[in-house]
Chains A and B, each alone.
Chain A
Amino acid sequence: MAEAKHPEDEDGVQIDLISAERMSDKTTMEKIRLILDGVREGKIVILEAGLTPDEESRLIEVTMTEISPDEFNGIEIETYPKSQADDSSLLGRLMGREETKKLTVIGPANQIETLHKDETLISALVSRK
């Protein structure tokens, strides 16, 4: 990845918006590393297309193994709630396309706080370390 300026010596919060295309040819572990490496540096990572349930489950598992006192408390993750009207999920899964086209925001648990969230809006407060 092209090295962006390091956020640590800056007086701000870095946000990485990652396109669906950039994620599409990555393996699950590569995606998780990309997310967690960013978040552990204090970045807010925004995914144009979210993760599959299986990837989310592995993200939680890997996050847990990396939590360490006074250093990393884990992540805050937000996506819009799954639309309840959508009953195509089984068919979708059978056809190999999972419903992942949901914007997903992931950040360090100690720096991001969700203020409000509904089906169409996520409002979050991000603070510096």
Chain B
Amino acid sequence: MGLLTDLKDSISRAASTLFSGEDPKRIGIYGPPNAGKTTLANRIARDWTGDAVGPESHIPHETRRARRKENVEIERDGKKVTIDIVDTPGVTTKVDYTEFLEHDMEKDDAVRRSREATEGVAEAMHWLREDVDGVIYVLDSTEDPFTQVNTMLIGIIESQDLPVLILANKIDLEESSVQRIRNAFPQHETTPLSALEGDNMDELYDKIAEYFG
């Protein structure tokens, strides 16, 4: 093997540097279930490419497979940042299919959904170690950020030396507290946002360009 593949690789690498300047950075959107990751991924994709990434839902684990939107070009002050957005399933250490039964689901569907969810989380964890260049960590600012999963995930991201942007989402809701998130992760900058209403997206795009450009 090797020679031909190597040659092909180096040609395609050369071509991609030629045409797009730089390879897109792969940005993983992580965070607990229901934080608004898919809503955010869809908004970013719609703002810059015109179409969406995947369905949003109030039922946890709607996103069981990571979904990717490639070559999203974000322009900031004449500078262009190209990213691949990877919307991941919410990370958790447990999945109980019976919780889905509360959302009017048949047992078969609930079991299938939980199986897909566990596979998706495993995959997302694997990627975090192997395959992402930066992380957008989305938190629901109406919820307590001091959870074990958040602490562990931020620790894992830090240990990989990945650039991370922490987002305090759902600031349109009355119970939202951005400060609580700032207190939980003072070593990082927190950007407030409503992915649903589109509030403060400009600041987010500035930060994306700054962190991942």
Contact = CB atoms under 8 A, between A and B. Distances in A.
Interface in A52-70: 52-54, 56-58, 60-65, 67, 69
Interface string A76-116: 11110110100101000100001000000000011000100
Nearest to B96: A73
A74 to B, nearest CB: 3
A57 B95 contact: no
B61 to A, nearest CB: 12
A56 B155 contact: yes
B151 A81 contact: yes
Nearest to A51: B152
Interface string A106-129: 000110001001000000000000
Q: Interface size class for chain A? A: 20 to 34
Interface string B108-145: 00010011001101100110110000000000000000
B48 interface: no
Interface residues of B, number: 29
A75 interface: yes
Contact of A60 (B114, B125, B186): B125
B111 A64 contact: no
Given A57-B128, A60-B121, A64-B118, A82 B93 contact: no
Interface in A9-40: none
B148 A74 contact: no
B158 interface: yes
A56 B95 contact: no
Contact of B94 (A54, A69, A75): A75
B15 interface: no
Contact of B93 (A65, A77, A117): A77
Given A54-B129, A75-B94, A78-B148, A65 B159 contact: no
B180 to A, nearest CB: 14
A30 to B, nearest CB: 19
B159 A93 contact: yes
B91 interface: yes
B49 interface: no
6 contacts: A54-B159, A57-B156, A63-B94, A67-B95, A74-B118, A75-B94
- Smallest CB-CB A-B distances: 4 pairs: A74-B94, A109-B94, A53-B159, A64-B122
Interface of B: 91-97, 111, 114-115, 118-119, 121-122, 125-126, 128-129, 146, 148, 151-152, 155-156, 158-160, 186-187
